[in-house]
Amino acid sequence: MMTRAEHGVNRRRFLQGSAAGVAAFTIVPRNVLGAGETPPSEELGGALIGCGGRGGGTFGGLGRGVRRLASCDVKYKDRADNKTYYTDFRLVLERKDIDVVAIATPPGWHALISIAAMEAGKDVLCEKPFTRTIGEGRAVVEAEERYGRIFQIGTYGRFGGNQKLRKIFDSGLLKGDVPTTIVQRGGKKVRQWSGMVRYDVPAVPDSLDWDMYCGPAPLRPYNRHRVGGSHRGYWDYEGGGLADMSHHHLDKIAYEYGRDDTAPVEITPYAPPQHPEACAMWGWCELKYADGFTIVMESGEWGDRYDRLQQKNTGEGDLRKLLSEEDQKKLAAMPDPEKLVRFEEAVRTRKPAGGNAAASHRVSCIYHLANLAFRCGRPLKFDPETDQIVGDEEANRLVHQPLRAPWRI
């Protein structure tokens, strides 16, 4: 008799085959089950890694027909049985009956666990922000390519994106510079997701594996504010409100304006000198692409208001006007962009998910570069081909940050 583990894995392997095969494998027809129920033969084994805050919601994003077989969190020291509750994600990834993994840890772990999960043959839905650094983002893209696994970021702005706009950029008909400026103001929770510079250092709670919590980041003295949502305020784990909120804002913009395979090349920041560990206030950042397309991110929470450029040429009509009459006709004759594939469908069909790692990496470059420029306190130039800051060795140390042993990507 086939075990549940074999069922899950065989189904996954099977799903990479033909549609006819999928039909043949559905042993229990849906129509004999209650509405909305999943036949056991279609069920996937799922794990949630990082069970606080967004954990439940992220797991739900795996879709229907996923049974949670494992829950892993570094705060489960008092209940870990290494059967259903874990503190060490590596033990979860060793399990053969886990097919899909939802990751909702602090973002300092996102890249490492996403990569490890794909190396273990799992498909991944990872909460935003994508990663903690640009270098980590590049490594997730490489893992996605090497292992052919499904990766989807846990935000879906691009799924509601304007396809007509995207079509203009996909068409290749826009010639020369793109005279679009988008001023994205507010919504970054900068003050809310700042870190503490003065704090107490109590004993580590018995239930928490603090070393594992810090993971690839430096092992700091324990501070309650570094755990439980407010981790967002520390460079070790995230990047303040800018890193936390921007993937929501930028995912749609990057999709619509065809920014999924490149990144800004000139970054101009306006912020006070930043703290080495705690994220804090900033004013705005201007991020210009090689083709002139410019995104301005303004906090609206600190300093003088941004007044260098005005928002312009953002609409479909504005951009279509840049095309000759002949090119407008060509554009009209072209098919619309393919509909983006959601995670559940991607797992089933093995088509890349809409918010895959490659696209997510390019979105994350925007907010990482802004944060980098704030931290460095100087304008930066970036080469999207190499994912390197140009002519600034010290800034590059923040692009590719060393990881604390034994963690590697």
Partner 1 sequence: MAITEQLKTLVDQMPPADGRGMYTDNIDKGKIEKAVDEIAKGGKANVQGLIEMLGEPGTAENVKPHYALHCVVNSALIGGDEKLQKEVCAVMADALSSNITNYNKAYLCQELQWAGSQDNVAALAKLLTNEELCDPAGMALVAIENGAADALKKALPGAKGRCRLVIVHSLAALADAGSAAIFKEALGDDDQEVRLAGGSGISKIGDASAVDAMIKAADVEPGWERIQQTKHCLVLAEKLAASGKKSDAGKIYKHLKDSRKDATEAYIREIAEAAL
Instruction: Give the interface with partner 1 as residue ranges (CB under 8 A).
Output: 6, 9-10, 13, 90-91, 93-94, 96, 116, 119-121, 146-149, 191, 194-201, 218-221, 223, 225, 233, 271-273, 275-276, 278, 280-281, 302-303, 376-378, 394, 397, 401-406, 408
Q: Nearest distance from residue 191's CB to partner 1, in Å?
A: 5
Q: Nearest distance from residue 246's CB to partner 1, in Å?
A: 19
Q: Nearest distance from residue 129's CB to partner 1, in Å?
A: 21
* CA end-to-end span of the chain: 38
Identify the helix (H) or strand (E) that includes residue 329.
helix 325-333
Query: How far is 22 from 25, CA to CA, in rounded Å?
Result: 5
Strand, helix or coil for residue 400: coil
Cβ neighbours of 341 (radius 10 Å): 21
Q: Nearest distance from residue 322's CB to partner 1, in Å?
A: 38
Contact, 275 vs 377, CB < 8 A?
no
Q: Nearest distance from residue 148's CB to partner 1, in Å?
A: 7
Closest C-alpha among 375, 388, 357 to residue 128: 357
**Backbone CA torsion sign across 110, 141, 339, 261:** positive
Alpha-helical segments (H) within 226-265? 240-256
Quickly list DSSP for 88-100.
Answer: -HHHHHH-TT--E
The partner residues of 286 in beta bridges, in order of sequence, read 268, 296
Nearer of residues 191 and 288 to partner 1, judged by Cβ? 191
Q: Nearest distance from residue 190's CB to partner 1, in Å?
A: 8
Nearer of residues 176 and 273 to partner 1, judged by Cβ? 273
Torsion of CA 290, 294, 299, 300, to 10 degrees: 150
Contact, 44 vs 67, CB < 8 A?
yes
Q: Nearest distance from residue 297's CB to partner 1, in Å?
A: 18
